[in-house]
Every structure is written in C-alpha cells, then in structure tokens.
Amino acid sequence: MSNTIITFNEVSKRYDHTDDYAVKDVSLNIEQGEFITILGSSGSGKTTLLKMVNRLQEPSSGTITLFGENIAVMNPVALRRKIGYVIQQTGLFPHLTIAQNIAVVPKLLKWPRSKIEARVDELLELVGLPPKEYRNRYPAQLSGGQQQRSGLARALAADPDVMLLDEPFGAVDAINRTSLQDELLRLHRGLGKTFLLVTHDINEAFKLGTRVIIMDKGQVCQFDTPERIAKHPADGFVTSLIASSRQQERFWEELYD
C-alpha cells in the first residue's frame, strides 16, 4: 500500500499579465511522515509551490492530490482546516491571547470547550511555552521566537496530517533560529506528520530535510536526500549552491585557525 500523501502531476503556475512561469511542469511525490524542505532563491517558485498545496494559489495546469484526492474538487476552506500553515510573520491575531489564537480552528470545528482547553495546554507544553505563564499573554508580550512557537502550536491545533511552513524562521535572530530548528526537528520526529518547509538557506534546508526540493526559475532542479544532493549535484545551479555553502564553512574555519 502506498504511503504517498501529496502528488504533484505536471503542475504549472503562471500569474496574469506575464509570460513567465512561477512554477513549471513539476511532478513529484511526497511520502507520509517526510520532512521536505523547498530551497531556492527569491523568485524561484518555492513559495508558490507550497501555497498551491492549500489552494492559496491555484495551478494554471496540472493536478495536486492529497491522499489520492484531487484538491481542486475539495472545498478550499475545509482543505485548509486539515492543513497546518505557518508563515514568517506568525499571523497571530494581536487582539487575542495566545490561548485564544491556538483555539481558533478548534472553535471553528466546534470542539467542546474542555477539549479545546486541554489541547491548548498540551500544545503550549509541546512547543516549550508553559501554559500557566503563556496562555493569557498577548502576541506583543512575546519575543519573536516565542511568537513563532505560538504560531506553530496554532497550526498544530486541529492535529493536521500536513504542515506547511513558509520561511517560518526568516525574521528570527540567528541564535533563536538554531534553537527553533532543533525544536522543529524534535516535534517532527515525535509527531510523525508530513512537513513542507520553504527556505532560502541551504544550511537550514539540508539540516531539516529528509529530502530537499531545489528550485530555480520555477523548475525543480533536484529532489533527493541532502547526502545524495551534496555528493551528486544534478546541474550547475545545484553545484553553485553547494559551493557557496562550503565557501562559508571555509570562512569560519579560517577564523578559528
């Protein structure tokens, strides 16, 4: 029995008033429980690819399936309630407490109050924010890293099978970014959900991803494990990415010599 959770079949996206494709002819399968990172420079199509999974963007052609069902025929609101979504700016509602933010989707799904309260506390513990200290705070009272943890908890609230993360740590300082990456890896291993994370940082992509999608000019250059990409880059673009990362490593090595 196949464990494929998401399939892209010849998916392309071209925005109005342009002849260029944001995404072109992407075909790939994502297996249940994988941590997929999508790597590319600005304008490579990585965010567009991610947003087509929860229909924030619609393909111009091709099909995307979730558990074998064409998402184009699914109710987009119902689809999005099944998929966790985390963005760089966290998207927390400033007028709601952290507990109220996390409870948004469970309330829409009409969960009983006792179940919602238990789920909020469970998730706050899961992301390292003790409920007694954080559930009644407002987003403005939290650091950037704490806001990202809260956003992650909200995305997990309805226990989705798929988590989409669009450069979630892009606005976080380097020290907290490393800590949050480690936390995300821990959560993924513990939860067994399928994660798709967009990043422009090759080190982040290779650290987090069980497999990495490398994109350039709307097309997938390579989709493989970090180890195989590093040892066998598919083209000149991938080779240049790896070379740039190794150059940074040499810079730090020289500083410590």
Predicted confidence (pLDDT) per residue in 217-253, tens digit: 999 999 999 999 999 999 999 999 898 888 777 777 7
Per-residue pLDDT band for 2 (boundaries 50, 70, 90) equals: low
Encoding tokens for residue 4?
A: 């494929």
Token readout for 195 is 């994660």
DSSP, collapsed to helix, strand or coil, labels residue 12 as strand
| CA 17 to chain CA mean position, Å | 28
- Banded pLDDT at 72 (limits 50, 70, 90): very high
**Hey, where are the domains in the chain?**
83-159
What are the angstrom distances between the C-alpha of 109 and each of 147, 163, 184, 202, 205?
24, 18, 26, 38, 33
Question: What is the rounded average pLDDT of the residues 5-30?
Answer: 94
Q: 């007028």: which residue's tokens?
A: 95
Give the separation between CA 104 and CA 96, rounded to whole angstroms.
10
Res. 90: pLDDT tops 70: no
pLDDT digits (tens, 9 = 90+) for 98-134: 999 999 989 988 999 999 999 999 999 988 899 999 9
Position 63, amino acid:
T
What's residue 1's pLDDT? 41
Nearest CA-CA partner of 237 in 226, 248, 223, 222: 222
**Is pLDDT at 173 greater than 90 in this prediction?**
no
